[in-house]
Copies of this chain bind each other. A is one copy, B any other.
Amino acid sequence: MSHMPPDHAELASALRLSLLRAARRLRSQRVDMAATLSQLSALDTVGKCGPLSAGEIAMVERVQPPSMTKILAALEQSGWIERSSHPEDRRQSIIAITPAGLELLAEETRARDEWLAKRLVEFSAEDLRKLGEAVEVLDRIGSE
């Protein structure tokens, strides 16, 4: 739109390319084959936000319900989540992380963070401050 301040358009352009390329690098970094990145992200949500329905997890993760169905099927087959019946609504089930899931989550998260952290140690304190400040703002871009 021509009424958009140039500041925003320029920042948007730079940020878009930066985000895509940084995310491409993160995704291509395959620590091991135990869980995919999407599975890990969903497992993280179940672990942090407590037992949830499939629809609630899809909403938090901002994916469509069929996408979450697939992710949850894989997590259940690996024994990382468990379903129990909803007390009032038999269409839903309540999904909780298992002890094995917690263990997997801790291991995988550590391994993946380590990969990124190894790159961060080469950065200056100033760079890290900039990244840290941007994290919270990035979260809002991803969740609106």
Q: Are B131 and A15 in contact (CB under 8 A)?
A: yes
Tell me what chain A mostly uses at the interface: helix, strand, loop, or mixed. helix
B116 and A12 form a contact (CB under 8 A): yes
Is the pair A4, B114 in contact by a Cβ cutoff of 8 Å?
Answer: yes
What distance in Å separates the Cβ of A73 from its nearest Cβ neighbour in chain B?
Answer: 20
Instruction: Verify if A25 is at the interface (C-beta below 8 Å from B).
Output: yes
Interface assignment of A33: CB less than 8 Å from any CB of chain B = no
The 3 closest A-B pairs by CB, nearest first: A134-B134, A23-B23, A21-B142
Q: Residues of A with Cβ closer than 8 Å to B? A: 1, 4-5, 7-9, 11-27, 37, 41, 44, 62-63, 109-110, 112-114, 116-123, 127-128, 130-135, 137-144
